[in-house]
A and B are shown apart, each in its own frame.
Chain A
C-alpha cells in the first residue's frame, strides 16, 4: 500500500528524532535501527538507505559531540588515535564491499553483538579510576597520555580514568570501521563496549568518545555515495533535521541519566539490533 507523502514525512521525522536521541544517550549513530525503518517501512532501496544512514550518523555525531567536547566527556586524544584505525577500516570495508555479501556480514554482526550485550548488561566492578582533583589543563601523570577526567553531572563528582589495552581497542576500531563502510552504520555498537569493557573507559566517556569518532567514519563512506548519486536528497534532509532535533533532546536527557541506566539500555538495544540483523540475513536475504 503506497505511503502518502505526509505519512512518509512524519515517519522520517520521528525516525530521525529517535535516532538522534539514541546517539546522544548511547554514543551510537543509530544507523543500525534507522536503515531497517527506511527499507522495510518505506521501501527505500538498500544502497540509498545506507546513504541516509551514514549522513544521519554524521548529523548525530556532530550535534552531540559539540556538547560533549565542551563538557569534557569526549576524549579527543583517544578518539583521534582510534580514528586512524577506523578510517583504515572504513577504506578497507569500502574496497571489499563488492566481494562480501551484506547477508554474510549481517549474520556475523548478529553473532558478535550478543556477547557484547551480555557483558554490557553485567557491567564491570570498576575501572582504572585515579584520584580526582588534578588540573584539567595538566592532567596527573598517572592518567597517561590518553587518560582524561570529566565532571559527571549525574553523580556530582569528577571522574578520572586511565586508558588500558589500547592495541585491542585499535583492533576493534579497525573492525568497526570496516563494518561501517560495508553496512552504512557508525560502528558505535562495537566501539562503546570496546572502550568501556576492554580499554576501561567509564561508560559516559566511552559513549561520548565513540559518538565523537563515528562522524569521521561515516563521512568517509558518505562521500562515496555522493559520488554515485545514491543520496536521496529530500529523504536524507528530512531525517537529518529530525536527527538534529532528537540530538538536542537526548543531550538534556543524558545529563540526568546514571551510567548504570545507560549501560543496561545499551545492552537491551544491542540484543534488539542482533535479532534484527539476523532476521535480515536469514529471512530477507538482503
Chain B
C-alpha cells in the first residue's frame, strides 16, 4: 500500500469481477475465431447477407444437424451475452459475503430482471 497518491491494488471483489469479464471475452473470442475459421474453410465466402435463420435454441436442440461453424459461432456469441449476467451474479455473491446485504439485494434484483427478460424473449 502506498502512502501518497498512486494506483491502488484492486480489492478482492473488483478482481473477481475483472476475471469474469476478461474470461468471458476471451472464451467468446476463441469460439468466434474458431467458428469463422471453420466457416471460411467450409464455404469460402462467409459474409453473405441472408434472411434470419433458426433461433439459437433451435440450433442447439437439433445440434446433430447443424454445422460446426454455426455451433461455434452461436456458442461464442451466447458466451459473450452471458458474461454481464455472470458478472451481476458474482457481485451479488461477493457483496453477500462482504456483509453488504443492501447491495447484494440490489444485484440479485438485477439478476432476476435479466432472467425475466430472457423468459419474455423466449415466449
Interface residues of chain A, those whose CB is within 8 Å of chain B, are 5, 8-9, 12, 42-44, 47-48, 55, 58-59, 61-63, 65-67, 69-72, 76-77, 80-81, 83-84, 87-88, 90-91, 94-95, 132, 136-137, 145, 151, 153, 156-158, 215-216, 218-224, 226-238, 240-241, 244
Q: Is the CB of B91 within 8 A of A59?
A: no
Q: Could you say which residues of chain A place their CB within 8 Å of the CB of B83?
A: 58, 62, 215, 219
Bound complex: CA A5 to CA B43 (Å): 12
Most B CB within 10 A of own CB, among A8, A47, A94, A229: A229
| Chain B contact residues, CB within 8 Å of chain A | 5-8, 10-11, 13-15, 17-18, 21-22, 24-25, 28-29, 32-33, 35-36, 39, 45-50, 52-58, 70, 73-74, 76-78, 80-85, 87-88, 91, 102-103, 106-107, 109-110, 113-114, 116-118, 120-122
Chain A residues whose CB sits within 8 angstroms of the CB of B84 once the complex forms? 58, 61-62, 215-216, 218-219
Q: Would B81 and A219 count as touching, CB distance under 8 A? A: yes
Which residues on A sit within 8 Å (CB–CB) of B50? 232
Residue of B5, B22, B24 near A158 (CB, 8 A) is: B5
Q: Does B47 lie within 8 Å of A222, measured CB to CB?
A: no
Tell me if A69 and B18 are in contact (CB < 8 A).
yes
Q: Is the CB of B24 within 8 A of A62?
A: yes
CB distance from B94 to the nearest CB of A (A): 9
Chain B residue numbers with a CB within 8 Å of A55 are: 77, 80-81
Tell me the complex Cα distance, A236–B54, Å. Answer: 16
Also in contact, A77 and B103, with CB within 8 A (given A219-B84, A234-B46, A237-B32): yes
Contact in complex: B77, A240 (CB < 8 Å): yes
A236 (CB) vs chain B CBs: closest residue: B77
Q: Which listed residue (A58, A66, A80, A238) contacts B80, Cβ 8 A?
A: A58
| B47 and A5 contacting across the interface, CB-CB below 8 Å | yes
